């Protein structure tokens, strides 16, 4: 967790849950669940400036790729380098939030 704290330059608020430890950074804009001591489930909120399109994945730092699943409110990518799954959820004008699963489904 210290590496993430240092990377985000933020002091988290953390609580234990049944999977591990969930920490909120930057007033809840970023939430990370640490499972077995590793950042595993990552939620990034407040992404309205990112378009809710296939190309939106590029703004999260990944290469452009068509989503494996798409509905009017969610797009999901599998098999991106270094992660299990990335989901983007529709907001009012762009993307509301992204949910990244690194290892644990």
pTM to 2 decimals? 0.89
Question: How is the chain split into domains, by residue range?
Answer: 1-45, 47-99
CA distances from 96 to 7, 20, 22, 26, 39 (A): 23, 25, 20, 16, 21
Residue 74 CB: number of other CB atoms within 10 A? Answer: 15
pLDDT at 43: 98
**Average pLDDT for 50-68:** 95
Task: Give the pLDDT band of residue 24 (cuts 50, 70, 90).
Answer: very high
Q: Is 89 left (phi over 0), alpha (psi -120 to 50) or beta?
A: beta
Task: Note the helical H segments in the chain.
Answer: 2-8, 56-59
């Amino acid at each position: 967790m210290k590496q993430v704290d240092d990377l985000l330059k933020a002091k988290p608020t953390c609580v234990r849950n049944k999977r591990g430890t969930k920490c909120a950074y930057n007033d809840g804009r970023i939430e990370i669940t640490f499972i077995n001591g590793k950042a595993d489930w990552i939620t990034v909120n407040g992404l309205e400036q990112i378009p809710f399109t296939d190309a939106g994945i590029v703004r999260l730092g990944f290469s452009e790729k068509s989503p494996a699943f798409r509905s009017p409110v969610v797009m999901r990518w599998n098999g991106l380098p270094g992660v299990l799954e990335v989901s983007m959820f529709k907001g009012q004008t762009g993307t509301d939030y992204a949910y990244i699963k690194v290892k644990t489904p």
